[in-house]
Structure 1
């Protein structure tokens, strides 16, 4: 049986102890009528406006499809799930927005927010309120602070950075080229700095020189100094860790100046449909590290494309999986008490639905809230879409390096 949760109160142990009899009585009073669907509010915190709006829109579309899939399959089991959205384009708006979701909308959990700096700010509020949050944001700090109520369905940014380098080096070696000199460009937010650090450490461990290691402000408008520096260097490959607009500008400027060395993007804006639309032929063969790709769940991808007229980007997969995991946890807990939901999220290993589209095949979490099963993959632009090319056990096509297909 599910119980309606009262509006959230601050986490003060002595007060909570005093109020326990009242809360138990209230739960009995508000118990649902037998046979009635229990109404559950889940908050969505995403940038639906501003420079990262497309990521928020894509994420919400994946979440909506994931919810509809569960409804169609009869998997809600007496739950009426209501999604309550908050537009949070910047970190300074996160605290108030999440607080409203908890106190006014009585959400029992939060999904979001793609942008790591926003997730860091939002999870400060969910932690204080004791409300579970599941994110696909990458920054290491998200599950590195000892918090109990935050969960990451993707590996941390430094792991993405390490694999970005290692996968590129492995593919280059298969093509007969030993990497010895690389360039790193990264935007200076939590995501960019953490992922760049992963690339940097992996290169150092492999004895590879980082001949360019330059940060830049998010939303940069003039990349000429970066590209001129790249032209003068002897780098064999460039690793731009960028959101959408920055990534487009860097690669377009490179290709217009006939700099043809391989590009290995840092997920985010490199693996959404708009990347191809923005770059046209310049997108061909661009690599990116990725947390997931639509070619691993073709049936879900087909439904997404039929509804939204574009291939399903990674954030739609990851956040669809996050929602389904949270709903399954609510059912497993048999309660809308956020503490019980939090514990169920931590214990649950879900390997069907959208979760099957994540490399590793499941959503599950370790003791810190970090994924216990997911790992990064390499995708590459081929014509209108992305194919998974590395590692071999996840690949659906062979990689290409400098125009040459690697068997």
Structure 2
């Protein structure tokens, strides 16, 4: 194995002991899991690497002078590596690891004397309380300059409470409007907020349907009752009113629903022109499979989450064909950046992997600008600069520019569609890689 960089420190379960019990060197040797391909690529790798020595970690007493001389820069990563959202956490971790290795292979943070990015990864599980707990531990015990995470909005909201109290920047790709809507000064959201995503989820397909001569007159909305689902459904609802489209079903359901039959029966009775579900993988798969098995063939426009990962196509087969989804980004927009991910991990670079790579890229650029790991200096660099090129440039809209709330003002959602094994960008026209297929009535 080519050993160019260190693999991540993987604190795979914050519920089991202290963080120090699963420490390893980082950014010098690639994790064996990072090269895994084939059917097991989405399986959670719970392997822990034993510590080779305390000298690899920066302590809370490490001086800025040492940093300037090229010491590692500890970056916390809090993602769900177990529980219902584990596959998304693994995808996110892989994207961050790819970006970290690229930064380190290119000389590290030059403004800090070539300091290497040292990833310290913690499992939030899929529980908000654990996300906050492991975030607090990373800050208290590992001297992290910033934290990236935690994929699901409910996890990121809890994590942001911890980072705000400790005055540590949090870079996230979570959707919820509440992420940047609470007046926090240390949170930075690199993609559009959920209501904007929900608006695009309807605006794009409405235009596609109009172009196909089958304008949308009525729609059905179903959404999980989490921060992600409720915020995005709000955007759908408001946009339907603006476009004069009737909402004939507007139904919330609990995350992890075990029987979607009542939802699908209700949907059948609406005779809607299209359905807009906002859900993660397992719920989304149940919804589509039950619809298609019952002969309901209306167009489906998912709300990202579980609709835009290879597992969705693998689970549904032909039922996934032509399913649309809104997305913050897609791998086909910049294959020169995303192809190395597929070569390394064996599947296309899903949006959460892309956007977490963006988070690290923006952080690295901010460190180059500030030349300092001090929280105030880093926060000012993040807030007062526009980040373009590299991973930051893959975000539709051209880059990252945070407003006073920490929201990226440049981000623009896109619409993607399943075509065989490929997830292709079909809207808006200026970035589409293929024409959309509208099979509605």
Secondary structure class of the residue paired with 1:60: helix
TM-score with structure 2 setting the length:
0.83
1:163-212 deviation digits (Å, cap 9, x = unpaired): 11111111110010121110000000000000001101111122211111
Does the aligned pair in 1 maintain the 2:218–2:248 contact within 8 Å?
yes
Q: Alignment partner for residue 65 of structure 1, among 57, 82, 98? A: 98
1:254-273 aligned at under 5 Å gives the runs 254-273=291-310
Query: Aligned equivalents of 1:94 and 1:394: distance in 2?
Result: 35
Q: Which moved more, 1:56-65 or 1:325-334?
A: 325-334
Q: 1:43 aligns with which of 76, 80, 84?
A: 76
Q: Secondary structure at the match of 2:397?
A: coil
Q: Which string of whole-angstrom CA distances, capped at 9 and with x for unpartnered residues, describes residues 331-350 of structure 1?
A: 21111111111111112322
1:72 positional shift: 2.8
Q: 1:277 aligns with which of 314, 322, 328?
A: 314
Displacement of 1:94 in angstroms is: 2.0
> Shift in Å at residue 356 of structure 1?
1.8
1:291 aligns with 2:324: no
RMSD: 1.6
Contact in 2 for aligned 1:212/1:230 (Cα 8 Å): yes
What does residue 115 of structure 2 align with? 79
Matched, 1:390 2:427: yes
Q: Distance in 1 between matches of 2:427 and 2:77?
A: 32
Distance 1:346 1:115 in 2: 23
The answer for unaligned runs of 5 or more in structure 1 is: 1-25
1:301-320 aligned within 5 A: 301-320=338-357
Measure, in 1, the Cα distance between the counterparts of 2:147 and 2:303: 26
Stretch deviating more after TM superposition (204-213 or 54-63): 204-213
Deviation at 1:71, TM superposition (A): 2.4
Q: What is the aligned partner in structure 1 of residue 189 from structure 2?
A: 152
* In structure 1, distance between residues paired with 2:319 and 2:62: 62
| CA distance, structure 2, for counterparts of residue 272 and residue 387 of structure 1 | 12
Report the secondary structure of 2:387's partner residue.
Answer: coil
Count of residues in Structure 1 that have an aligned counterpart in Structure 2: 378
Structural mapping, 1:369-388, within 5 Å: 369-388=406-425
Deviation at 1:403, TM superposition (A): 7.5
1:31 aligns with 2:65: yes
Q: Tell me the distance in 1 between the aligned counterparts of 2:65 and 2:188.
A: 29
CA contact (8 A) 1:62 1:319 kept: yes
Whole-Å separation in 2 of the counterparts to 1:202 and 1:342: 34
> Of residues 237, 242, 266 in structure 1, which corresponds to 2:279?
242
Deviation, 1:373, is 0.6
1:351-366 correspondence to structure 2 within 5 Å: 351-366=388-403
Q: What is the CA–CA distance in structure 1 between the aligned matches of 2:219 and 2:61, rounded to whole Å?
A: 60
Selected match of 1:230 from 237, 245, 267? 267
Q: Unpaired segments of 5 or more residues in structure 2?
A: 1-59
Deviations 1:118-176 (A, max 9, x none): 11111011111110000000000110011110010010000011111111111110010
SS of 1:164's equivalent?
helix
Counterpart check, 1:212 vs 2:249: yes
